[in-house]
Structure 1
């Protein structure tokens, strides 16, 4: 695979992209950005005899499940595909069985109306090493009425069983234990819209969440099974108002201690231990004054199963701190052998540790796979996007600037690798708004930088992952102080000499689409144009969505107030390009339709593109990417402001 198989994939893919693809040019052709990964989801069987993954041999077809002989990677692989389903993930369950997780379009009728949606499916497939062929496949939980299905736990210590989570038509989550040998499906937990279950590494339901109202306020109660009596007891809560509380993230193998993220005592969250018998909370076991402590690393392989390996902290970069010396030594070995300024994650490891599959990614690397043999030899298995050459892509920098009221706003800056400043620039706020951007691969930022634009991704007030102060500063400031942060970012680009004052645009998706809509109607816009993807044009709609949930009424609905762009179309002062998918159920497509029609009626400069079969979140299909990126490139270059940006 290092040479022959990988080369075969790349040769065939060159033909599919077309002979005119000029890979020597600095501007990478659009075709190289929009396809599915050429190789993806690679992992090794427990017995180290086979590799499995998803490969792409035709840009107009779905990826194929591909199985290689690990002892002879140059040999012809075995292919398999589920019917009418696009596979998104493949994973060995035991030495001869793997699962395939896929998605297909699906329309259903709910609450009296037809809904355009999609549904996920999971298949279990048996592979005969002796015959080198697929001998059996079946879709699991096929008879259950559901809107979603996902893998809860592969139960690596139980070779013939897996735990699957099913979201039913009432949007409640049930858990099923599937026995591959007996071909049975047993429900082990029945959820409801108000409660759900959380399992430990062994797949045991050890924690239940329940939404409650009344004193001391709406909250999520966390109940645990007492280690000695087996009785379920409420131990702590996450309050809806203010979002303060303890949130469990891992369970100690002793069954008594729970690791929780605590945001109640400082701006940045810390990790503590909570004792289920004494009900006492420890001093922080992991904290850093400048970053958020966000998670606990728990072993999932046979050699470290259930063991606490370290902690995760998130600031400008996401960092893993290992407390387990054996795991630290393994990761140090991997990092010493692979490219710098990338994140390397173990995708899988054989039971004996002789084969390790590692996925690597970074700001200039969308994804690459490597095989470590006996921890001495490293074989490159392939890159997900072979024509996105890292040397032609751009560095991502962490930056900070001050908003007009003095609040420090973090951000990420990606400048073109060619040309000189001042550049044309794009301010690109993330979705959410209770979310954040991360240091690493970003398709849109890299695409725009490759087209000559400097891209600023502001972590405006309301963003999560930067501390409580920045997060809660966005409450009820939609289109107001939250919007000031983006505009002040545009001004910072000019002051730093990075961007020209009359060559800045704003582009966002989801909440970012809302921000682009708001930018159009606010006075003194610093932008030449706006591009709004799947944006929310009237806040009262989002308030209704979150109001449907008891918890959401106090947790987020109460924080949504400010500017509704739809109410101010007469004030629109810059052109806008709007796009939205007709299968979007997160932000209804009607939000963009209404804003477009109102702007058009008011005589404003507006364009609208409704994309068939596009849903809200990734992964998207190539047809979606080429529509979004192609129109984005053309609009910025030709119609953003007078004569293009």
Structure 2
């Protein structure tokens, strides 16, 4: 049973105490800002506690009628998120607040002018139950802000698929159909069960029971099933389906071998051309492009947009999600930041206006707008903006608030997008976060996790934290990173896993480039990473010749075979080649301990489900036996993922890392 409380229902005394605490907190915050104590000066960086705070506000959205504005707020450093609902015409007025206990509100969606759908999670066990079996479970509830009532739905771990803007009081949910089968296939091909949930009665009606041959469904804004994904087990092929508005049956439109590394992602339905899809695909090219796809001819149409330097990432939907939930208005790609090429002139004009009006505009999104388009909430984030929300109403742009109000925008570090050559001639893109001061700087190489993901650096808390302490931060997009074409991605594993080999060379060659450019001090370099980045840090500790003074390895894969054995029986096709080649053919840190020649700081969460704690424990036994210099920090109750790193975890982690870099990294510290 979920234990909710609405603050309006508290006893007068309890409510008064709560509000006094809230008022005291914000008065202190305002006082600090007014006395400039929150502003960083050259020799007085922001306290680590500021970086350890979770987002003060997030998920700001306006109601369909534009009369209310909702946001998630964490008012204290160890507090759980509270949902606050304001009157749009007077944001200074005391909001309506809702919390959940013992559950935590993770998110919400407006499902009408007076109703909000809450997504909740609760910690239900102290230890993980195996690989990818974490300690949290999720539920849903509906909040009626007019009646001030909450209704909990008896559904466990649901996924909200469609808010059905044209069907009041109805949403589509999905659930895992068979967890054993699910993990063997890419996400969109894992069978799910689909239900329409009646938000008034709480009853759910089965729409489709997914199976391997037709596993997952995409519904349009009216609730019509339009796109389907399945798997042909006999032939080892992914199968794509389409269903027209008047069609009663699914039509197979495309097949692709599970052994293919090429992509085929349906992005949406062209609203101006009958039975035509937008698809991001390679279609024989190295770089992904956006194509039209004729569902009747079952073939690609025109290439809508492509680049020779980077992949097309996807598309942007119309910002008016209440009236135009299925419209595609732009295609996106990323280099130094995300970029959009618009098909819709009005949307292009609106975004251009926002980007011109918002300070430090970098990555601007419209998070919501009212049905009459009179109220629009916009969000910006970037290197010098941790994330700020704005309300556009009556032709006026008002700042609602920042995710991290402690930071002054002009005191945050600049980020630059660079490219350099690896030793084999391959071009490696990278981001550098540049601290105040004069080069050459002490430098931290911070490779992303994954490793087979795309990283686009905007505001990066870890990079900004390190830059505030005077470190230049290099984030290399080493081979295997996605976004730069098939060949670049496959070069990390197609001829054997390059972990600890060419992938590691890419990182080291970035350091050498920065040293040659006069940006980095060759005697003051370290590596810090999380997940695969932690793996790379441990590999760096055993390299010769040695470029680094120490490494910090967070949530690191320490034993390649241990990791791949967690999911070996769940892999197939191209994914099996990718993972087995990567982990089985690459260097394994636990087998390289005898070569470790610099100090190591190991950090791990006690309930990490993606890289289970056994990795850290096994590595600690070996490095202790080898007599190598190391320290270990365990984050009690922390999982692998960022949203499980609470204030206490982050503060402990940051203090340990900064102290280690300063005092234990090399002969005199970094």
How far is 1:183 from its partner? 2.6
Say whether residues 1:553 and 2:576 are aligned partners.
yes
Residue by residue over 1:570-618, the C-alpha shift from the partner in whole angstroms, topping out at 9 and shown as x without a partner, is 1111111111111111111111211121111110111111211111112
How far is 1:228 from its partner? 6.4
Residue by residue over 1:4-24, the C-alpha shift from the partner in whole angstroms, topping out at 9 and shown as x without a partner, is xx998742546899x996535
Say whether residues 1:302 and 2:318 are aligned partners.
no
1:139 aligned partner: 152
How far is 1:630 from its partner? 1.7
Residue by residue over 1:498-518, the C-alpha shift from the partner in whole angstroms, topping out at 9 and shown as x without a partner, is 111110000110111110111
For 1:343 and 1:500, locate their aligned partners in 2 and report how far apart those are by CA, in whole Å: 32
For 1:492 and 1:155, locate their aligned partners in 2 and report how far apart those are by CA, in whole Å: 52
For 2:406 and 2:200, locate their aligned partners in 1 and report how far apart those are by CA, in whole Å: 43
Counterparts in 2 of 1:469 and 1:7: CA distance versus 1, 3 Å: farther
The counterpart of 1:241, out of the listed 259, 277, 281, is: 259
Counterparts in 2 of 1:516 and 1:242: CA distance versus 1, 3 Å: farther
The counterpart of 1:157, out of the listed 140, 147, 166, is: 166
How far is 1:167 from its partner? 3.5
Counterparts in 2 of 1:194 and 1:280: CA distance versus 1, 3 Å: closer
Counterparts in 2 of 1:578 and 1:192: CA distance versus 1, 3 Å: farther
- Conservation of the 8 A alpha-carbon contact between 2:362 and 2:380: yes
1:564 aligned partner: 588
Say whether residues 1:251 and 2:276 are aligned partners.
no
Taking structure 1 as the reference length, what is the TM-score of the superposition?
A: 0.91
For 1:197 and 1:16, locate their aligned partners in 2 and report how far apart those are by CA, in whole Å: 51
How far is 1:238 from its partner? 4.2
Residue by residue over 1:528-580, the C-alpha shift from the partner in whole angstroms, topping out at 9 and shown as x without a partner, is 11111111112223332442223432453344321011112111111111111
Helix, strand or coil at the partner of 1:502: strand
- Conservation of the 8 A alpha-carbon contact between 1:437 and 1:457: no
How far is 1:379 from its partner? 1.1
For 1:641 and 1:109, locate their aligned partners in 2 and report how far apart those are by CA, in whole Å: 36
Helix, strand or coil at the partner of 1:264: coil
Counterparts in 2 of 1:109 and 1:291: CA distance versus 1, 3 Å: closer
Counterparts in 2 of 1:209 and 1:111: CA distance versus 1, 3 Å: farther
How far is 1:168 from its partner? 6.2
Counterparts in 2 of 1:154 and 1:115: CA distance versus 1, 3 Å: closer
For 1:453 and 1:419, locate their aligned partners in 2 and report how far apart those are by CA, in whole Å: 10
2:390 aligned partner: 370
For 2:341 and 2:109, locate their aligned partners in 1 and report how far apart those are by CA, in whole Å: 27
The counterpart of 2:102, out of the listed 73, 84, 91, is: 84
Superposition pairs of residues 378-457 of structure 1, within 5 angstroms: 378-416=397-435, 418-457=436-475
How far is 1:245 from its partner? 4.0
2:228 aligned partner: 208
1:583 aligned partner: 607
- Conservation of the 8 A alpha-carbon contact between 1:240 and 1:555: no
Helix, strand or coil at the partner of 2:430: strand
2:651 aligned partner: 626
- Conservation of the 8 A alpha-carbon contact between 1:141 and 1:185: no
Say whether residues 1:23 and 2:39 are aligned partners.
yes
Residue by residue over 1:265-307, the C-alpha shift from the partner in whole angstroms, topping out at 9 and shown as x without a partner, is 2221111111111112112011122221121223352343322
Unaligned runs of 5+ in 2: 1-21, 183-190
The counterpart of 2:550, out of the listed 529, 534, 548, is: 529
2:635 aligned partner: 611
Taking structure 2 as the reference length, what is the TM-score of the superposition?
A: 0.88
2:27 aligned partner: 11
For 1:291 and 1:496, locate their aligned partners in 2 and report how far apart those are by CA, in whole Å: 25
How far is 1:497 from its partner? 0.8
For 2:118 and 2:658, locate their aligned partners in 1 and report how far apart those are by CA, in whole Å: 35
Counterparts in 2 of 1:296 and 1:521: CA distance versus 1, 3 Å: same
1:458 aligned partner: 476
- Conservation of the 8 A alpha-carbon contact between 1:582 and 1:614: yes
- Conservation of the 8 A alpha-carbon contact between 2:553 and 2:601: yes
RMSD: 2.7
For 1:25 and 1:192, locate their aligned partners in 2 and report how far apart those are by CA, in whole Å: 59
Unaligned runs of 5+ in 1: 1-5, 129-133
For 2:36 and 2:339, locate their aligned partners in 1 and report how far apart those are by CA, in whole Å: 42
- Conservation of the 8 A alpha-carbon contact between 1:348 and 1:356: yes
Say whether residues 1:601 and 2:625 are aligned partners.
yes
Counterparts in 2 of 1:481 and 1:454: CA distance versus 1, 3 Å: same
